[in-house]
Amino acid sequence: MGFKKKVVRRQVIEIVKESGKNGSARDPTLMPNTFKFAAEALKTMSERGGSAGSIVVSRYKSYNYKLIFALVMNTAKNIKIIKKIIHNLKIANEINEPNPFMLEILVGDLLFGKGLKSVQQNPVAAAIINIKDAIIKEQAGLEKEFSQDDNGQSVAKYIRANNLKSDMNHVISQLKTIGLTQLEYSKDKIKFKKFINKFKSIEDDKFMVDFHFPNDLIIVKPGVAAKIKKLDLIRKNKVTLQDKASYMAVEALDPQPAQKIIDACFAPGCKTSLIAAKMKNKGKILAYDINKKRLVDAIRFLKQQGVTCVRTELQDFSKVKLRRLHKVAEVETFDSILIDPSCSGSGITSRVDYKKSDKEAGRLKKLQAFQISLLKHALQARVSKTIVYCTCSTSIEENEQVVEMALKESGVGDKWDIVDVLPYWPQRGDSNYEFGEKCLRSSSEWLTNGFFIAKFVCKDIHVPPKTDDPKDNKERRSKKVKLEPKHEDEQDTDQEVSMDDDDEGASDEDNETAEIEEEDDDDEDDDEEEDDDEEEEEEAEDDEEDDASS
């Protein structure tokens, strides 16, 4: 059976389930599957984390997924207010609905969606509508308590000029063709805090070049970023959406043309493409990732971006043997290593990430163990002059604790210095740690996602002795992944997915690592994931009126 027929068949089954036995219209007193699926998606976000877009599309693509997505987004974006209203008015005690996630979806649709119009004859929905006035009154009182930033909403988006295919002057001229106006300022006459206030006060049809990186980054309001996705600038990969905090991790790495760099967890490839751009495609980037699907997607992304200096490896970097590292790259030492591992993603402000549960502590512990193993391996290897470790997490457990424990457990802490990361940046690491002030933290206060960066400089780089060990001369098998070009202007690059002969079998520990990686796919995706949510939300809003009546 063809794919389209399968989709149609599943949609028919859904309609039949919601219809009466005699084929009549759905009983209006029953809760529609769209609301049930939305509650399920919200539950998944709570227990496992992840973005609304990835969960809804992966599970309910063959159903009325745009309406499901709209229900989830309207709730998750405003979850703090919704939870407070349910708690303050004791709605769970007054209404016969044992599923707390369904209650949140219903209140979310009442206040921020379609006002429960499509389910008003359902008893639970009707009971909520009956106390609508009390809910709205409670909402009005809470809105002062919860500012936009506190409720998890981004106030800024960043457009990065892809200097492999364009430049800032071209990008600015293209933005002006769609009616946007550049608000200019003199950096000599303005301080960073004043710049932030100025940006917050501008209208949605204006943009500014970034205060610190005016040759690469443009800052816009979130709504503008969604409109730009429809331009040729995006389609032809002349720009990419990348948060400033993510950009700063590469700035701390300071890649230069002709350098040799390792990207230890490179998918989805946004930072890798920036490294290549700063290197002007001259040099060598050895990029590792353990997740094959994510790696293949990242290879396609890099190809579209015009990157030609990357060799990709399908492997857990923490398991890479030192002799293999040198043989694969055909160099003795590297200039730097970027370690940007899977993390909780707690710093991503504009991605809806509903994940407050009892399982979070255990999940954080697994992530921390994986993060330590990666950083410890890089420290012990001593094959690079510098290491940059970063996460889009705000938790100490994934940041300062990882740095401290990796240095201690590696046994080579005395061979490395932690140095100041971008000293001009106003927010630093936790001062309870001796090295805290040298690390960088960022947050929505500075118009970025929550982020952490630490930088290490090696005092005694290790150059491995040459050996006649036959294992070192063993021929490598490489598997090439063929990618069909999506755009006419894509460059024809040869990217490889390689696996070492002696690493094909996965141990239990490898499988556990892979499980962590898969669980946190969404956390790796930074702006790409959150921007997909915004684009999906925009489409859902366009179709929601029709969907509600279907």
Buried b (16+ CB within 10 A) or exposed e, 364-387: bebbbebbbbbbbbbbbbbbbebb
> Are residues 310 and 445 located together in one domain of the fold?
yes
User: Residue 79 has what pLDDT?
Assistant: 86
Give the burial class of 308: count Cβ atoms within 10 A of its Cβ; 0-12 exposed, 13-18 middle, 19 or more buried. middle
- Evaluate whether residue 99 is within a structural domain: yes
Contacts of 378 (CB under 8 A, 6+ apart): 262, 264, 317, 337, 339, 384, 387
CATH code of residue 226: 3.30.70.1170
DSSP string, 450-514: -EEEEEEEESS---PPP---GGGGPPPPEEEPP---SSTT------EEE--GGG-SPPHHHHHHH
> Are residues 258 and 386 located together in one domain of the fold?
yes
Binding annotation for S-adenosyl-L-methionine: 289, 316, 340
Q: Which of 241, 273, 302 is the last residue of a domain?
A: 241
- Evaluate whether residue 54 is within a structural domain: yes
Binding annotation: 289, 316, 340
Phi, psi of 43, rounded to the nearest 5 degrees: -65, -40
> Are residues 61 and 186 located together in one domain of the fold?
no
- Evaluate whether residue 513 is within a structural domain: no
State the Cα–Cα distance between residues 270 and 281, nearest whole angstrom.
Answer: 15
User: Residue 246 has what pLDDT?
Assistant: 97
> Are residues 32 and 134 located together in one domain of the fold?
yes
- Evaluate whether residue 539 is within a structural domain: no
User: Residue 232 has what pLDDT?
Assistant: 83
User: Residue 363 has what pLDDT?
Assistant: 80
Helices 132-143 and 100-112, packing angle to 10 deg: 80
Q: Is there a cis peptide before residue 268, judged by omega within 30 degrees of 0?
A: yes
> Are residues 443 and 300 located together in one domain of the fold?
yes
* Catalytic residue from among 270, 343, 392, 439: 392
The answer to whether residue 458 is catalytic is: no
Q: CB of 272 within 8 A of CB of 288?
A: no
> Domains in the chain: how many in total?
3
> Are residues 72 and 221 located together in one domain of the fold?
no
State the Cα–Cα distance between residues 284 and 295, nearest whole angstrom.
Answer: 18
Q: Which of 91, 114, 147 is the last residue of a domain?
A: 147
- Evaluate whether residue 544 is within a structural domain: no
Tokens linked to 363: 């999940």
Which is nearest to 43 in space by CA: 95, 119, 102, 124? 102
> Are residues 256 and 392 located together in one domain of the fold?
yes
pTM of structure: 0.70
Q: Which of 93, 120, 147 is the last residue of a domain?
A: 147
- Evaluate whether residue 408 is within a structural domain: yes
State the Cα–Cα distance between residues 385 and 15, nearest whole angstrom.
Answer: 62
Which is nearest to 344 in space by CA: 357, 333, 335? 357
State the Cα–Cα distance between residues 282 and 105, nearest whole angstrom.
Answer: 51
State the Cα–Cα distance between residues 50 and 354, nearest whole angstrom.
Answer: 8
Q: Integer distance in angstroms from the first to the last C-alpha of the chain?
A: 26
Q: What residue type is assigned to position 46 of the chain? A: S
> Are residues 367 and 248 located together in one domain of the fold?
yes
- pLDDT tens string, the chain, 550 residues long: the values are 554 444 444 443 443 344 444 444 567 788 989 999 999 999 888 776 667 777 888 888 888 888 999 999 889 888 888 999 999 999 988 887 889 999 999 999 999 998 999 898 899 999 999 999 999 988 887 766 665 444 445 679 999 999 999 999 999 999 998 889 999 999 999 999 999 999 999 998 999 999 999 999 999 998 787 677 767 888 899 999 999 999 999 999 999 999 999 999 999 999 999 999 999 999 999 999 999 989 999 999 999 999 999 999 999 999 988 767 767 667 778 999 999 999 988 888 655 555 554 556 678 889 999 999 999 999 999 999 999 999 999 999 999 999 999 999 999 999 999 999 999 999 999 999 999 999 999 999 999 999 999 999 999 887 665 555 555 444 344 344 444 444 434 333 334 433 333 333 333 344 444 444 544 444 444 444 455 555 555 555 444 444 433 3
Which is nearest to 363 in space by CA: 326, 395, 392? 395
State the Cα–Cα distance between residues 415 and 382, nearest whole angstrom.
Answer: 8
Contacts of 394 (CB under 8 A, 6+ apart): 346, 347, 441, 443, 450, 452
- Evaluate whether residue 209 is within a structural domain: yes
CATH code of residue 425: 3.40.50.150
State the Cα–Cα distance between residues 210 and 247, nearest whole angstrom.
Answer: 12
User: Residue 347 has what pLDDT?
Assistant: 87
State the Cα–Cα distance between residues 145 and 143, nearest whole angstrom.
Answer: 5
- Evaluate whether residue 478 is within a structural domain: no
Which is nearest to 457 in space by CA: 416, 423, 422, 420? 416
> Are residues 287 and 422 located together in one domain of the fold?
yes
> Are residues 297 and 370 located together in one domain of the fold?
yes
> Are residues 184 and 65 located together in one domain of the fold?
no
* Domain around 182: 157-241
> Are residues 271 and 375 located together in one domain of the fold?
yes
User: Residue 96 has what pLDDT?
Assistant: 79
